[in-house]
Amino acid sequence: MLPLGVAVWVVLEIWLLVLIGGAAGGFTVFLLLAAAVVAGGAVIKRAGRRAFRNLNRTLKTRGAADPQAEQHDEQHTEGNGLLMLAGLLLIVPGPLSDVLGLLLLVPPVRQAVSRAAERMMERRLRTAVPGTWGDAFQQARMHQKDGKVVQGEVVQDDEPPTRRNDSGPRPPLTG
């Protein structure tokens, strides 16, 4: 279904570009596409800088337990991924992807999409079959807010691997 969905998306984007080009002219379409690429690049750059700044702040204050700083960090780190997705959608040529990218730039829309995606992931994780990726993600989420980690199992080999000590001839590779 995914390849079919991508094909339909591409055909729809091209059809809309042709309609806009017929109504406003080819040069206008070119300017719109160029402006969207520049805007998308700026959005991705801003979101990347913001994420890097938050990472540095988190690494510097890792030992300090400041509830106000944690609340501030949580407010400013949410949505970096969706901002980057918005920039990517702006860079992808086509009016439909541009509209979706612009919608993701609106904070209430971005928050609603974030909450919906989180609910969907939690639903999938609850119904995950043990031993699948969902199980691994569920285990990764076991970190507590206070920095403690839920106890797990560590498997460690006490014996080093043994070397094969054959001095005789090896059998041929083909049979």
Tens digit of pLDDT for each residue in 25-61? 989 999 999 999 999 999 999 998 988 888 888 888 8
Rounded Cα distance between 146 and 63, Å, is 11
- Model pTM score: 0.63
Handedness of CA 101, 106, 111, 112 (dihedral sign): negative
- What the block records as the tokens of 130 is 């043990």
Answer whether residue 21 is part of any domain: yes
Which tokens sit at 151? 């106890």
Predicted confidence (pLDDT) at residue 165 exceeds the cutoff of 80: no
Mean pLDDT score across all residues of the chain: 79
In angstroms, the CA 89 to CA 157 distance is 47
Domain assignment present for 143: no
Q: How distant, in Å, are the alpha carbons of 10, 40, 67, 113 from that of 110?
A: 24, 16, 25, 5
What count of other Cβ atoms lies within 10 Å of the Cβ of residue 65? 10
- Give the pLDDT confidence of 125-161 residue by residue, as tens digits: 777 666 555 555 555 555 555 656 555 666 666 666 6
Q: What's the Rg (C-alpha) of the chain?
A: 25
What's the domain range around 124? 7-62+76-129
Tokens for 3?
A: 């390849």
Question: Comparing 101 with 121, which gets the higher pLDDT?
Answer: 101
The share of the chain scoring above pLDDT 90, in percent, equals: 42
* 157 belongs to a structural domain: no
Based on the structure, what is the number of domains in the chain?
Answer: 1
In a domain, 144, yes or no: no
Q: How many CB atoms lie within 10 A of CB 95?
A: 18
Does residue 122 form part of some domain?
Answer: yes
Residue 5 has pLDDT above 90, yes or no: yes
